[in-house]
């Protein structure tokens, strides 16, 4: 990555005459990954799925409350229609 | 002649009732008003749109009667919409008032069921038009916050359906379901989705709603709306994006002739991708991830010095910066090692096994919840780039400038993904050419009015006067979307070789224009400039609240989010050569 200034100079110096090697050189001096001192590994798909489902289950009661309201609306609409003839 | 009733029956093929008791006979009926606001909205808005009655003076003002009516209309509609939205069965009197009024208006539509949906609107507005307009407005008010799971008690009903899992292997049914908020109106007829901005100019049906958008049927383009669970939403008025214009160099042989029809003077090209770091996918992806993690840390230090409490919230890479596997590796690493909320990158999706060409797509990741779950969505480019002789010469590409060269990508199955971002804003992305083409995506973008649109480009310098600036201005005015365009330094560097001296002088002092920001609604334009030798631009945005009004004088109460430019600066990796 840190070769970017060098690549930029090369671009100015030789316009239109670049090869893919110059593109690759962009990253030639980029820092290598450092794995030590990292937090625990990335959670598994199963752990993700469980967390997502938990978040949705927490809202189950709210979902059911909304459904119940719409059912009540349906009944009242019907009552109003029948009353109006 | 298509009558009102035929239109309503077409939109509600299973009738207008959402629920039916098991013991009831299976009778399809249309005599009851729909109870789910998006269904009601779809029917009423379709009738309003077909008739064109939204442009009548009774709605837009100009008559004595409309002036008088418009004083009580917003209050009545807001009150009834609020009762619907609260979904509280304890308020029995309110619920009775709501249902009686809805049913009366619905009955007015049925009474005019034999009439045509279209016709000249001379003189007094027909009663059924007034009813449709009011039903549309009440359903709109009832849907306030429906896409964001805010104060609306109806919103939780949508969460399970529109929640985007980590792996978006949606079944055909769930793909269909996320294309609309409706339950009874099939997406093959029309779609309804949440809305971000209300146009404050012009006179269209879009100017009549705050919270719901009427969209075309799925098919030509599908709009998918995705949400995150509410406890995951981040509440802050700051939005800091780190833009990394990778690749920093684009070699001549990155544009590769794929097929040529010499006699017809055209061919197809594909993008080579030699800018990835060397090594296997894992090693190469890890290199990019490490670079980004360290650049984020560097940016956070700079933000702290500026007095910004929050660090970087999102990272944006331009069109085709990565391929799909590397983007995934980077996303997982960013989730693990940083606290950012969002990662967006243009990606090259290799061709499948069916002989189709590759896809040019955007991959977006939201990191949600304490577990840093990945919510992922992919959106492919809708239009192919056509390189002409002038562009080939300007970018010094190794293609014959006497031919047109079409980008060889698959553009079928068009989708627009809209994502709820934080608790009250929505975000969408477009890829390069899609920003410039009106059909089919701009119809959708204008209707939904996302608060922020990010356009990923493989383009030259992002000067204000160039094409991205022009198209950004159009979207900023109507619907009022803030637009960010981002390109790679490699293409900027090729483009500016033929810049006039004064542009070079400015670039020397201020950096190269690797992005362009356009504030919504007449706001300012900012060229995002990166110094040569630097590796990104930190763009600090503010999420302001603003009041918008519909054409029928309804206020949103100042709840609309308007994203505006605060400051931006060039940033360099901590350990330059």
Q: Nearest CA to B214 among B4, B82, B38? A: B38
Give pLDDT, residue A31. 39
Question: Between B89, B252, B278, which is nearest A68 by CB?
Answer: B89
B248 with A49: Cβ contact below 8 A: no
Residues in B closer than 8 angstroms to A6, CB to CB, are 577
Give pLDDT, residue B215. 94
Strands (DSSP E) contained in A8-80 are none
B247 with A43: Cβ contact below 8 A: no
Largest CA distance in chain B: 82
Q: Which residues neighbour B42 within 8 Å (Cβ) at sequence distance 6 or greater? A: B11, B180, B182, B185, B189, B190, B192, B214
Number of CB pairs, chain A paired with chain B, less than 8 A apart: 200
CA distance B570 to chain A (A): 14
Quick: pLDDT tens for A12-71. 333 333 444 444 444 443 433 333 333 345 556 666 677 777 777 877 888 899 999 999
Stretches where chain B sits below pLDDT 50 are 576-577
Give pLDDT, residue B381. 93
Q: Among all residues of chain A, which has the CA nearest to that of B16? A: A74
CA distance B220 to B182: 19
A30 with B535: Cβ contact below 8 A: no
Give pLDDT, residue B232. 55
DSSP B180: -
Give pLDDT, residue A17. 38
Question: Between B153, B247, B252, which is nearest A66 by CB?
Answer: B153
Residues in A closer than 8 angstroms to B287, CB to CB, are 27, 30-33
Q: Give yes or no for residue A75 having a pLDDT over 70.
A: yes
- For chain A positions 17-56, those within 8 Å of chain B (CB to CB) are 17-34, 38-39, 41-43, 45, 47-49, 51-52, 55-56
CA distance A7 to A23: 8
- For chain B positions 436-465, those within 8 Å of chain A (CB to CB) are none
Residues in A closer than 8 angstroms to B89, CB to CB, are 68-69, 72
B35 with A52: Cβ contact below 8 A: no
Residues in B closer than 8 angstroms to A3, CB to CB, are 577
Cα separations (Å) of B488 from A72, B86, B411? 56, 48, 22
Tokens 């500016």 locate to B496
Question: Between A51, A56, A80, which is nearest B160 by CB?
Answer: A56
CA distance B194 to B565: 25
A23 with B396: Cβ contact below 8 A: no
Give pLDDT, residue B506. 85
Cβ of residue A16 closer than 8 Å to a chain B Cβ: yes
Which of B89, B105, B251 best probes binding to A when mutated, by most A CB atoms within 10 angstroms?
B251
Cα separations (Å) of B26 from A78, B33, B264? 16, 18, 61
Structure tokens at B531: 């110094």
Burial string for B452-465 (b: 16+ CB within 10 Å, else e) reads bbbbbbbbbbbbbe
Give pLDDT, residue B133. 93
CA distance A78 to chain B (A): 7
Instruction: State pTM to two decimals.
Output: 0.88
Residues in B closer than 8 angstroms to A29, CB to CB, are 577
Helices (H) and strands (E) in chain A, counts: 4, 0
CA distance A80 to chain B (A): 6
CA distance B480 to B522: 9
Structure tokens at B273: 């991708």
Question: Between A11, A52, A70, which is nearest B373 by CB?
Answer: A52
CA B207, B210, B216, B220 torsion: positive or negative? positive
CA distance B217 to B188: 5
Cα separations (Å) of B505 from B205, B395, B502, B533? 47, 20, 5, 17
Cβ of residue B279 closer than 8 Å to a chain A Cβ: no
Residues in B closer than 8 angstroms to A20, CB to CB, are 251, 253-254, 272, 274
Q: Among all residues of chain A, which has the CA nearest to that of B17? A: A74
H-helix or E-strand spanning residue B225: strand B222-226
What ipTM goes with this model? 0.80
Domains of chain B: 4-216 (no CATH), 238-571 (3.60.110.10)
A69 with B153: Cβ contact below 8 A: yes
Which of B86, B88, B101, B156 best probes binding to A when mutated, by most A CB atoms within 10 angstroms?
B156
Residues in A closer than 8 angstroms to B99, CB to CB, are 73, 76-77, 80
A26 with B249: Cβ contact below 8 A: yes
Q: Among all residues of chain A, which has the CA nearest to that of B336? A: A42
Give pLDDT, residue A14. 37
Which of B35, B82, B139 best probes binding to A when mutated, by most A CB atoms within 10 angstroms?
B35
CA distance B482 to B477: 9
Cα separations (Å) of B112 from A38, B3, B8, B126, B573? 69, 9, 12, 9, 68
């Amino acid at each position: 990555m840190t070769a970017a200034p060098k690549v930029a100079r090369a671009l100015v110096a030789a316009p239109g005459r670049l090869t893919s090697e110059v593109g690759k050189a962009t990253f030639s001096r980029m820092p290598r990954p450092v794995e030590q001192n990292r937090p625990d590994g990335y959670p598994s798909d199963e752990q993700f799925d469980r967390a997502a489902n938990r978040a949705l289950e927490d809202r189950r009661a709210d979902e059911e409350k909304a459904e119940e309201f719409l059912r009540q609306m349906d009944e009242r609409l019907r009552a109003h229609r029948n009353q109006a003839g | 002649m298509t009558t009102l009733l035929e239109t309503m029956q077409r939109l509600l093929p299973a009738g207008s009732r959402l629920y039916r008791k098991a013991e009831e006979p299976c009778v399809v009926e249309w005599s009851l008003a729909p109870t789910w606001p998006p269904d009601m909205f779809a029917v009423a808005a379709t009738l309003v749109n077909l008739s064109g009655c939204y442009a009548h003076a009774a709605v837009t003002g100009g008559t004595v009667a409309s002036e008088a009516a418009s004083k009580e209309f917003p209050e009545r509609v807001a009150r009834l919409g609020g009762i619907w939205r609260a979904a509280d069965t304890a308020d029995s009197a309110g619920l009775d008032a709501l249902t009686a009024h809805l049913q009366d208006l619905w009955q007015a539509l049925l009474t005019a069921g034999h009439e045509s949906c279209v016709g000249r609107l001379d003189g007094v507005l027909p009663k059924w038009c007034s009813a449709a307009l009011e039903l549309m407005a009440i359903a709109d008010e009832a849907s306030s916050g429906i896409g964001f799971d805010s104060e609306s008690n109806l919103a939780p009903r949508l969460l399970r359906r529109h929640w985007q899992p980590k792996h978006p292997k949606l079944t055909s049914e769930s793909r269909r379901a996320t294309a609309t908020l409706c339950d009874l109106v099939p997406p093959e007829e029309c779609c309804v989705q949440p809305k971000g901005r209300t146009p404050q100019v012009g006179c269209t049906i879009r100017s009549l709603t705050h919270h719901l958008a009427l969209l075309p049927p799925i098919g030509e383009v599908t709009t998918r709306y995705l949400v995150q669970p509410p406890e995951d939403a981040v509440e802050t008025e700051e939005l800091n994006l780190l833009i990394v214009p990778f690749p920093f160099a684009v070699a001549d042989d990155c544009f590769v002739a794929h097929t040529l029809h010499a006699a017809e003077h055209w061919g197809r090209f594909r993008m080579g991708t030699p800018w990835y770091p060397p090594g296997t996918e894992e090693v190469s992806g890890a290199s990019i991830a490490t670079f980004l993690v360290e650049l984020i840390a560097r940016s956070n230090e700079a933000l702290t010095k500026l007095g910004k409490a929050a660090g970087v919230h999102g990272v944006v890479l331009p069109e085709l910066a990565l391929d799909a596997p590397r983007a995934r590796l980077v996303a997982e690493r960013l989730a693990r090692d940083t606290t950012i909320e969002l990662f967006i990158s243009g990606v090259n999706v290799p061709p499948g096994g069916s002989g189709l060409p590759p896809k040019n797509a955007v991959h977006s990741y939201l990191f949600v919840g304490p577990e840093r779950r990945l919510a992922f969505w992919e959106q492919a480019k809708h239009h192919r780039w056509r390189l002409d002789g002038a562009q080939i010469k300007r970018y010094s590409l190794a293609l014959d400038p006497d031919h047109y060269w079409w980008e060889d990508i698959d553009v079928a199955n068009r989708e627009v993904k809209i994502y709820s971002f934080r608790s009250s804003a929505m975000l969408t992305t477009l890829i390069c050419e899609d920003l410039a083409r009106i059909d089919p995506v701009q119809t959708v973008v204008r209707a939904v009015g996302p608060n922020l649109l990010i356009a990923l480009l493989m383009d030259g310098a992002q000067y204000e006067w160039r094409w991205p600036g022009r198209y950004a201005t159009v979207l900023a005015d109507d619907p009022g979307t803030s637009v960010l365009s981002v390109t790679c330094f490699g293409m900027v560097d090729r483009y500016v070789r033929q810049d006039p001296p004064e542009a070079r002088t400015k670039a020397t002092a201020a950096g190269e224009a690797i992005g362009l920001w356009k504030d919504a609604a007449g706001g300012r334009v900012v060229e995002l400039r990166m110094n040569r030798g630097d590796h990104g631009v930190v763009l600090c945005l503010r999420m302001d609240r603003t009041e918008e009004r519909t054409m029928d004088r309804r206020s949103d109460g100042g709840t609309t989010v308007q994203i505006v430019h605060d400051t931006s600066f060039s940033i360099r990796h901590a350990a330059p050569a």
